[in-house]
């Protein structure tokens, strides 16, 4: 299973590419939605890039507790562990 550092690196890479946001703005405790400027449509594309990079699909309700980037990394860790 990927380490937290590997997950952070991979996530920053694909989020930066998909949402055209500089990686340096993705601080661990930064607000994910605000930093990436996500609207409701963008969450659909977030599901797509997660599936493309990690091979699992997240549901809308999985994002309920995701506020910061750290929350997002934790979600990815949890889903990878369940695979």
Interatomic CA distance for residues 60 and 57, integer angstroms: 10
User: Which x/- pattern, by CB under 8 A, does the window 11-30 give for another protein?
Assistant: -------xxx----------
Q: How far is CA 68 from CA 1, 33, 71, 81, in A?
A: 22, 8, 5, 20
Which of these, 3, 68, 61, lies nearest to 31 by C-alpha position? Answer: 68
* Among 8-16, 42-50, 62-70, 72-80, the segment contacting another protein (CB under 8 A): 42-50
* Among 1-9, 23-31, 35-43, 74-82, the segment contacting another protein (CB under 8 A): 35-43
Kindly tell me which residue out of 34, 51, 55, 56 binds another protein, with binding defined by CB under 8 A: 51
């Amino acid at each position: 299973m990927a380490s937290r550092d590997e997950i952070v690196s991979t996530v920053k890479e694909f989020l930066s590419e998909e949402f055209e946001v500089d990686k340096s703005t993705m601080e661990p405790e930064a607000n994910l939605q605000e930093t990436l400027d996500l609207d409701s449509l963008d969450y659909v594309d977030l599901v797509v890039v997660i599936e493309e990079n990690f091979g699992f699909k997240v549901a809308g309700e999985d994002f309920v507790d995701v506020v910061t980037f750290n929350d997002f990394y934790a979600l990815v860790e949890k889903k990878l562990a369940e695979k």
